[in-house]
Amino acid sequence: MIIENVSKKIEGNLVLENITLELKPGEITALIGRNGVGKTTLFSLIAGLYLADEGRVLMDGADLRKNPALKKHIFFLQDNMNYFNPYSVKSVVKIYKNVYATFDEAFFDSLMERFELPKNVKVLTFSKGRKALFFMILAFALDVRYLLLDEPMEGLDVIVKKQLLQFILETVVERHTSVLIASHRLDELEMVADRVVVLKGTKIELDYYLETLRDTALKIQVAFKTKRVPPFVKQESQLLSRDGRIFTLLITSQADEFVNKLKAEEPILYQEMAITIEDIFRVRLADDKVDYYEI
């Protein structure tokens, strides 16, 4: 699927501008951004709930607007499915079986049993976490090509959440599903995401694969002999945090050259660390930027 130069205004306000993005089979893409940046609007455009003012969404080269039948290959799991509260689990299943010919009922039943969810109750009897779990199970049982998950694990306890994240990883590999997932819990995304797309303002600020980033970039914790921070450090790295005289730095280009210059300063502390999605969020999206004030 290709989202091609998509723009959208809502009530006269530009929400998304020239968004271009490809979603690939068997890949989990994390969509991150500040609250209100347009993540849900992007989901709605891909799912066909909104029409783009400009641009288009293509599946196998066909425009979804001109070929609405292709929407059967997409499922958008919204963060609020309360309109199903009066329905029984069996009724919800029946509705989706009628809409999605790919619905795998045996797979659904096995997951309901695996996560110990009853099928002969109404949706409103589920707690917030159990309801979220039910709809996640339903989403994957539909066996669609593209799953759009907007804050899907809100309310789940830690144990179930870990089980569900592992299940998502397994299922995406087995079924070659393409998943676009948004969550304010960056640590959850860290466990499953192959790729991260950063929305800032109305545009895509950054689009990268975690594995590629970790191969080319470097996160370092360092402390110098004196209070002075070498000028090249300020110019060639991004400051993630500071604890007294200990600086945590992100270097995204020419990392080997930077390390050589850094070690020439004979720092009293030098430690390489794993780069996380939260690091990217801090650098690209955080309001409270840290500075190099030399205490």
Collapsing DSSP states into helix, strand and coil, what is residue 23? coil
Collapsing DSSP states into helix, strand and coil, what is residue 77? strand
Assign 82 a pLDDT band (cuts: 50, 70, 90): confident
DSSP state of 99: H
CA distance 27 to 173: 8
Q: What is the mean pLDDT of residues 75-88?
A: 86
CA distance 193 to 179: 9
Quote the pTM value: 0.85
Assign 53 a pLDDT band (cuts: 50, 70, 90): very high
What are the pLDDT digits (tens) for 150-196?
A: 988 877 788 888 888 888 898 898 889 999 999 888 888 888 899 99
Tell which wins on pLDDT, 212 or 46. Answer: 46
Q: Where are the alpha helices (DSSP H) in the chain?
A: 39-47, 89-99, 105-114, 128-141, 158-175, 186-192, 210-216, 231-236, 255-264, 277-285
What are the pLDDT digits (tens) for 173-186?
A: 888 999 999 988 88
Q: What is the secondary structure of 229-293 as a DSSP string?
A: PPHHHHHHSEEEEEETTEEEEEE-S-HHHHHHHHHHT--SEEEEE---HHHHHHHHH-SS-----
The alpha carbon of 159 is separated from its chain's Cα centroid by a whole number of angstroms, namely 20
DSSP state of 54: E
Q: What is the mean pLDDT of the chain?
A: 89
Nearest CA to 75 out of 61, 53, 95 is that of 95
CA distance 188 to 45: 25
Residue with tokens 């009897």: 125
Q: What is the mean pLDDT of residues 5-20?
A: 93
List Cβ<8 Å contacts ≥24 apart for 184-192.
Answer: 184/35, 184/151, 185/153, 186/32, 186/276, 186/277, 186/278, 186/281, 187/276, 187/278, 188/153, 188/161, 189/30, 189/32, 189/277, 190/276, 190/277, 190/278, 191/165, 192/28, 192/30, 192/165, 192/168
Task: Identify the structural domains of the chain with CATH numbers, from first to last.
Answer: 2-211 (3.40.50.300), 217-285 (3.30.70)
Assign 286 a pLDDT band (cuts: 50, 70, 90): low
Tokens representing residue 95 in the block: 């509705």
- Cβ(71)–Cβ(51) under 8 Å? no
Conformation bin of residue 123: beta by default, left when phi > 0, alpha when psi is -120 to 50 = alpha
Angle formed at CA 252 by CA 247 and CA 257, multiple of 5 degrees: 85
